[in-house]
Amino acid sequence: MQDHKSAYIHRSGEHQLQAAPSTCDLAAAVDDVVPANGHHHKPGKAVTASVYRAKIAGHSRVVTVSWSRDLLSHAFTIAISGADGASAECRVELRPWQFWRRAGSRRVELSGGASTAPATVRVLWDLRRARFAGAGIPEPRFGYFVALEAAGEVVLVHGDLRRDALRRAAPCAAADAEAVPVARREHVFGRRRFAAKARFHDHGDVHDIAIECGGERGEGDGDMEMSIAIDGEEAVQVKHLQWKFRGNQSVTFSRAKVEVYWDVHDWLFSAGTRPALFIFRPIVLSSSSAPAGMAAGMLAGTVSTTGGFCLYLYAWKLD
């Protein structure tokens, strides 16, 4: 254990895959938007995706809000799907010379369900005051909303301007059951250092995540090391990374507990053609232990149960 003035971080377990409580439900819903294995992602294109579970047209459905940006385009997409087969999608291009596109609304039809009648869903957005964390970042940091209205209720508000969204959707009121965050996928780029921001709970604080990888691999006694810091405090340190390129570790900070998983195999053995994967999963202390092999399944992208929120971070090394 290490003591810190602002927060403390408790390390538990060895650097190896261990059994863990249940993980993210429906996380695979973003695979078509942000591929889980990185095969179809272009390193020059910044992409984020947030997945929610919301009740729409009488059914629990998966809503994915994704953002993409490169030199030629900047857009957000809302995709809706459900177990009944019904689906809908709305894509909005954000062209800088068309200021009016930064606020608007669009209706789409939720259809294709075997036992569900088609339903109209309205997407509303306002990005006129949106502020981004830096050049090339696809998703605004604050000052915006993207909302979803169905059957006279606002079922989802993505962004910090919730009051503005409800005012814009009037006379529609907020749904009794709010959308529940399920997962988030994000791609980050760097040479030795990778940074991201994350909220581990729906109404929690935004935390700074920094991942650093250094050392020399290959000749002589060359060794690789990796560290993961949360809010400036070192949470995970891995030495001899070429032997411990997959693992997981529990960390505690600011009265929160998070399980951190990493898989940097492709950093070391694929010549930078594929990203490393980091998973940050808040731990519910009352949850029961999962069967052995859960951690390995999370890193492989094959595990999906009914647990809480997960952040999937894909770190691409640039030459």
Q: Which two tokens stand for residue 209?
A: 């995540």
SS3 category, 162: helix
Q: Which two tokens stand for residue 87?
A: 């689906």
Q: Which two tokens stand for residue 133?
A: 């964390």
Residues 294, 288: Cα–Cα separation, whole Å: 12
Residue that is written with structure tokens 């595990």 in the block: 303
Contact indicator for 74, 94 with CB cutoff of 8 Å = yes
Q: CA neighbours within 13 Å on the CB side: how many for 106?
A: 17
pLDDT of residue 111: 87
Model confidence over 5-26: pLDDT tens digits?
Answer: 333 233 334 444 433 333 343 4
For 148, residues 6+ apart whose C-beta sits below 8 A from its C-beta are 54, 56, 63, 78, 80, 121, 122, 123, 124, 154, 155, 156, 157, 179
Question: Could you tell me the residue ranges of all domains in the chain?
Answer: 12-23+183-317, 50-182
Contact indicator for 138, 48 with CB cutoff of 8 Å = yes
pLDDT of residue 209: 93
Residues 88, 29: Cα–Cα separation, whole Å: 14
**pLDDT less than 50: residues of the chain:** 1-40, 218-221, 286-295, 297-298, 301-306
Q: pTM (2 decimals)?
A: 0.76
**From the centroid of its chain, how far is CA 56?**
22
SS3 category, 117: coil
Residues 244, 88: Cα–Cα separation, whole Å: 43
Model confidence over 251-294: pLDDT tens digits?
Answer: 987 777 899 999 999 888 876 678 999 999 988 654 444 444 44
Which residue(s) pair with 249 in the sheet?
260
pLDDT of residue 271: 65
pLDDT of residue 249: 94
Give the single-character DSSP code of 300: H
Q: Which two tokens stand for residue 109?
A: 């039809």
Contact indicator for 264, 245 with CB cutoff of 8 Å = yes
